[in-house]
Amino acid sequence: MSEKKVFIENSQTGLNVHYDVQICENCVLPETFPDISFNSKGICNYCDEFAGIPDWNETNLEEFINTVKTKSLGSKYDCLVLYSGGKDSSFSLKLMKEKYNLRILAMTLDNSYLSNVTSQNMKIVLDNLGIDHHIIKYPKSVMDEIYRGSLNGTFDKSTYMYSTTCCGSCIGLVFMTGVMLANKLNIPLIAGGWTPGQMTDSAVLESDFIQGIISKYADRMKEVSEKAWAHVGSEEEQLQVTQFLVNPLYVSDYKEEEIVKSLKEIGWKQPKDTDSCSSNCRLNSFLIVDHLKKFQFHPYVYELSYHVRAGLMSRHEALEKMSHINVTLDYVNKLEEELGV
């Protein structure tokens, strides 16, 4: 892109992002977003084509879960919850335990960039809910090499439209590790804390979706970081995905402030070392800045726009999130140095 229209300004309270671009009058997608167009009223084509959230509700999700639960006979667990310790995965864990009454194993991939309070938040939530926990940690040098490879690699448009390239690679790794563990323990369901529009728009996804995510990022990461990916993905070619993926937040009345409030009641704390779009990962703020500089749009803007269209967030709230990163330039620079880029 020859002309920069998105500018990042440092301040004592954090980085502010200024958009000298047209922004959809209905959602918050900017003119720099891929394949976007606007009608005469300034409404983008993504809004024009929005058909609403797919027709999943609590009742039919519960019926689906109860049907799949029968496949866990002989296993200690019904569901593996991919648990980051952030607000969304914590609330998802709470829903799967309390609303759907599942026997749960929580799995965390420690990427070496977790917030300072995340470990304590996990302990509080897991102890409160009485849930077993499995933590997987690859060496920081391996994770850093994967992230550096993601930053420098060439990815297709669908990769960077919806998240940063590093986040995509991390999700691929989380899925691959999670499926290996679920296969080993004969667990038929996998759940996460994704919000509507973040990864898909459906409350239930079949195994081929998970397999597609794993294959997409495994193939690319082998190209840009062969040594690091071989360390964690040596079994990828033999990996058979049989689990369904459940997104319980898709059928909840998702309101961020209410979720945070309910978690704080049991002792969960909002991190002070993460940006406005993450409640567990320190690296995310650096990745947002990198994405803004490379592509001239915020990596969370598609998700935020989906929330606005679906009535889960006001347009003003979305504009605030995409305009304020809540960490300083010094903090981002330290992360850049830590990552070694």
Which among 192, 231, 237 is positioned nearest to 85, based on CA atoms?
Answer: 192
* pLDDT tens track, the chain, 341 positions: 446 789 999 998 899 999 999 999 999 999 999 999 999 999 999 999 998 877 778 888 999 999 998 887 788 999 999 999 999 999 999 999 999 999 999 999 999 999 999 999 999 999 999 999 999 998 898 889 888 888 877 777 777 888 888 888 888 889 988 998 999 999 999 999 988 777 777 888 889 988 888 887 776 666 655 666 666 665 545 578 889 999 998 888 778 889 999 999 999 999 999 998 999 999 999 999 999 999 999 999 999 999 999 888 999 999 999 999 999 999 999 999 999 98
- Kindly calculate the radius of gyration of the chain based on its CA atoms and give it in whole angstroms: 20
Number of helical H runs and strand E runs in the chain: 14, 8
Which among 330, 286, 329, 328 is positioned nearest to 144, based on CA atoms?
Answer: 286
Q: What is the pTM of this model?
A: 0.91
Please answer whether residues 20 and 323 qualify as being in contact, where contact means their C-beta atoms are separated by less than 8 angstroms.
no
CA gap 190, 247 in Å, rounded: 9
Quickly tell me which residue has 């079949």 as its tokens.
206
